[in-house]
Amino acid sequence: MRLIRILSILLFFYHSFVLAQDSGSLVRQFIKWETEANPTVLKSSKALPIEHYEIPLDLIKTSFNENFDEATNRSLIFEKDGKKFVRWIIHPDDTKWHKKVKTFLRSQGFDSSTKNYFKGHYTSSRSLIVIDPTTGHEFGIKVSTNQTGGYWNSFKRQRWDDAKKIRAINDMFDHVEDSIGFQYFDIMSEHGAYGIANINQSMVVRSIDQMGISKRHYFPAFAAFDSEWGRKIAKLNGSKKPAQFWNKHLNKPLAKALAEMAATFGFTFNSPHSQNFLVELDENFKPTGKIILRDIGDLEVSRELMDQLGKKDIYKMFNPFFRTRKGFSMKMALIHGTKKPEWMSKDEYKKWGIEFFQTFEETFSSITGVDRSSLGPKTLKLGGSILPNGGKIDFDGASWFIKEYKLKGDKWTQWKEHLSSRLGWRKNNSSMRTGRCLEIILNKLVANHRLL
């Protein structure tokens, strides 16, 4: 009996070691793509020191769910002289927002000097991959910074009110996924957040463990447009035509993913550029057909839809910039804010735009039962001629395509009924798959995130 227990313990540690090794190699590859395969801005993939402040835990707001990684919590929260503190991470490029934290600490009479403990890596955006040097544990985190590289780098304060919205949306996704599952997408989960309400700043933790658990590569969508990696992945899958390959394995799967999200939640992306999406690849770099949605803080919601569903509280969680008045809009903007590859012609990209919306409407119709002929409109709008900081594109000013869908007629009523049932918002329907438990959970989430 004792031998069996010893063998069981050894087997547990062996599997943990193998998972850590698998996860580590997948994360290393992910970091390489994030930093070295971004056509817009290249960064170093080498680890760098990450400074932090030490803030008493009783000054910090927190928001976690049951899936939050306890190893991350142990990395960020520690005890000193019998008191718990949070290691508040400073983005290595930030020259503005962390000074607000320093001023806050001084105003509270606490040490405001910076400390050194973590190592970390850049990603393509403001988020970081952080490494605990004691345990080797790795996790993603979003913090405020006024410098990110690329075209959009002027307003990247990670607000606490935004973190609460992100957490509420993440929990909605988790509960629905546990009940009915997602076919075409998954999210890069953000199960935990820490906030300083007084200065409206936060740290949002982004899980990277799911790469190791699923043994899947997360290939950034923008890397498909990299001169080396876009061709390389296509070639590994037997294709010499990257434009056709990525239309099939990025553009159309993305349309399906966004259709499933819109059909299930009524949410759409405000800015669906390629930094917000990851293509899931298996261990042999073959696309699985699933898209990983990376930044759920960039989702927008329709006031008209939430009003008709009786869910004004959910609408109010969103910043006014991420609210639409009527209907909802769908955009395709894969090269917006990045550089087009040499293999992408103007006509090819327009073909992507047309086929994106064909796929989106077919998938949305299939999930909701709304006849495609009821969707409309028949024409695409083009946009994106002006980018921040002097950025330019060369497709006659069109880097994104957009369609606006209006909520009218019996078919749209059918979709709203489908949406209510799918989310568990029709209280008199005992046969719904998600059930009334989700209704109760969502009401609690809205209330809790409003009060935190």
Question: Domain locations in the chain?
Answer: 215-451
- pTM across the whole model: 0.85
Of the listed ranges 96-100, 174-178, 226-230, 352-356, the least confidently predicted one is 174-178
How does pLDDT run across 9-21, given as a tens digit for each residue? 344 333 333 334 4
Percent of the chain surpassing pLDDT 90:
49
Contact in structure between 131 and 116 (CB atoms under 8 Å): no
Residue 182, pLDDT score: 92
Average pLDDT across the chain, whole number: 83
Asked if the model's pLDDT at residue 389 lies above 80, the reply is no
Average pLDDT for 135-150: 87
Average pLDDT for 299-316: 81
Place 429 in a pLDDT band, splitting at 50, 70 and 90.
very low
Which tokens go with 19?
């998972």
Place 439 in a pLDDT band, splitting at 50, 70 and 90.
very low
Place 153 in a pLDDT band, splitting at 50, 70 and 90.
low
Place 150 in a pLDDT band, splitting at 50, 70 and 90.
low
Residue 270, pLDDT score: 87
More confident call, 410 vs 132: 132
C-alpha closest to that of 87 among 101, 72, 77, 79:
77
Residues 426, 431, 436: CA angle, nearest 5 degrees: 45
Residue 17, pLDDT score: 37
Of the listed ranges 23-32, 256-265, 275-284, the least confidently predicted one is 23-32
Which of 181-190, 304-313, 320-329, 346-355 is most confident?
181-190
Residue 117, pLDDT score: 97
Residue 178, pLDDT score: 82
Residue 404, pLDDT score: 85
Place 210 in a pLDDT band, splitting at 50, 70 and 90.
confident
Place 85 in a pLDDT band, splitting at 50, 70 and 90.
very high
Average pLDDT for 313-330: 80
Residue 217, pLDDT score: 96
How does pLDDT run across 216-272, given as a tens digit for each residue? 999 999 999 998 999 999 999 999 999 999 999 999 999 999 999 998 888 999 889
Place 436 in a pLDDT band, splitting at 50, 70 and 90.
very low
Place 69 in a pLDDT band, splitting at 50, 70 and 90.
confident
Asked if the model's pLDDT at residue 130 lies above 60, the reply is yes
More confident call, 208 vs 253: 253
Asked if the model's pLDDT at residue 176 lies above 90, the reply is no
Place 402 in a pLDDT band, splitting at 50, 70 and 90.
confident
